[in-house]
Amino acid sequence: MPVFNQSRSRIIRLIFLLCFVIIIAQLFHLQVLSGKYKRMADENAIFEKRIYPSRGIIFDRKNKAILNNTLMFDLMVTPSEVKGVDTTLICRLLEIDTAEFRKRVFNARFRNGPYRPSIFEDLLTPEKYARLDENIWRFGNGFFLQERPVRLYPFYSAAHILGFIS
């Protein structure tokens, strides 16, 4: 009878050893080989904010600016945080209709996902910026204004040197 129990204990030990090896191999795969969870953790924890470079003013020999900078603003949206927003107010401020508003929020969600900020409207005019700056607190965390320096070319000369593309 002890011989019969001895072979059974070997099989049980072998099953436990096999399960242990499978669990260790799966843990090694998840922690070392797979980058999926690291990427998901980084996307959840790191807030990337695009900061546009500021550039200097270029003067000619008579001390006139031939290349200048101005500060413009983009309206950014985080689609997951656009809940309970007064849609009619923001549509009135941006001079768009509610269908266009829904389309822009859907496009932002489709392009960058629900948790990443996307451009809702870029290069706001000074009038729109002033209206939005007064009322941005009403829209919660879903909308914010991001500054963007833009190059101004008062004279259309030396484009190949100064980098004027448009």
Q: What is the pLDDT of residues 21-56, one digit of tens each?
A: 999 999 999 888 888 877 777 777 776 777 777 777
| Pure H helices in 95-139 | 98-112, 126-135
Rounded (10°) angle between helices 98-112 and 87-94: 100
Sequence-separated (6 or more) residues with CB below 8 Å from residue 126? none
Mean pLDDT (the chain, rounded) = 83
pLDDT for 16 equals: 94
Task: Tell me the average pLDDT across 117-145.
Answer: 89
Sequence-separated (6 or more) residues with CB below 8 Å from residue 84? 140
Kindly state the percentage of the chain with pLDDT values over 90: 26
pLDDT for 102 equals: 92
Q: How many Cα atoms sit within 13 Å of 157 on the Cβ side?
A: 7
Single pTM value for the model: 0.62
